[in-house]
Amino acid sequence: MTSGETIAWLVTGARGQLGTDLLAVLAGRPGNDVTGLGRAELDLTDEAAVRSTVDDWLSGVRADRAVLVNAAAYTAVDAAETDEETAQVVNGLAPGWLAEEMAGRGRLVHVSTDYVFDGTASEPYPVDAPIAPRSAYGRTKAAGEQAVAAVGGDAAVVRTAWVYGRHGANFVRTMIRLEGQHETLTVVDDQVGSPTWSADLAAGLVELGVREGDVPPVLHCTNSGQVSWCGFARAVFEEIGADPERVRPITTAEFPRPAPRPAYSVLDGGAWAAAGLTPTRPWRDALARAMEGWPREPDPSG
């Protein structure tokens, strides 16, 4: 972004944990005209509404450039197993509609997921690794990536993983709540990934949005390093002053879920750094920073 340049932003999924942090990051930058749309304002299952909303927004843009960040998704991984049709519209078709409306008129930054991979790797997935989703959620997100790629233009797909934030429902908030309700917890220890603070992800997406020139078609953005869900839960306990040994490891087989989870979800961030974008901080450092000023959970006793 050059000095004095103005950018108009449209953020979909603006009421979710990532969308909330995107709006916060954008509020702190000069020269921005920001529009945030949640599910109530933009129904991604309605093609006509999606197209007209984006077209109306673009028609009203008076800034030098326009950037749309698609942070909206059908993220109910287990529910998608029995509601794949809806997930396919939101995750698979709507990104293509957004890409078509933005083509030649602005930049699209579309958020995707580690679930497009099969999770059988033993080293971080590079951006060009073959996709092989094993769940309905993964299949629909892969379809969304392909829809964006088919349109081409000024668009980037950004895969991320294990996102948590101070807002919305997520693993960290769940662990904090359960710590106050149970003496011990059991958490899966044979699934490995990179916990990603939504505020760090939001900052990265905005940096990508303002970047001058061409952007890579696919990138990975997570906090760096890796840990199991059990290790992640123990780190959360440490941050709130609880005994991490109260978190006991179990296997995926002992905690079956409707949708299969990737055993290995670590994404290689090399392409992100190679594009000149700011390298992400280690996941443990991000968690410590995120927990500063973390909102207090309601007392379950009332």
Max CA distance (Å), the chain: 57
d(CA 191, CA 264): 6
Distance CA 21, CA 28 (A): 11
CB 222 within 8 A of CB 272: no
Q: Alpha-carbon Rg of the chain, whole angstroms?
A: 19
User: What b-and-e string marks burial along 81-109, b requiring 16 or more CB atoms within 10 Å of the CB?
Assistant: beebebbbbbbbbbbbbbbbbbeebbbbb
φ, ψ of residue 133 in degrees (nearest 5): -65, 145
Catalytic, 137? Answer yes
The catalytic position among 115, 137, 164, 264 is 137
Distance CA 76, CA 134 (A): 15
Which residue matches tokens 């028609």? 59
Q: Residues with catalytic annotation?
A: 137
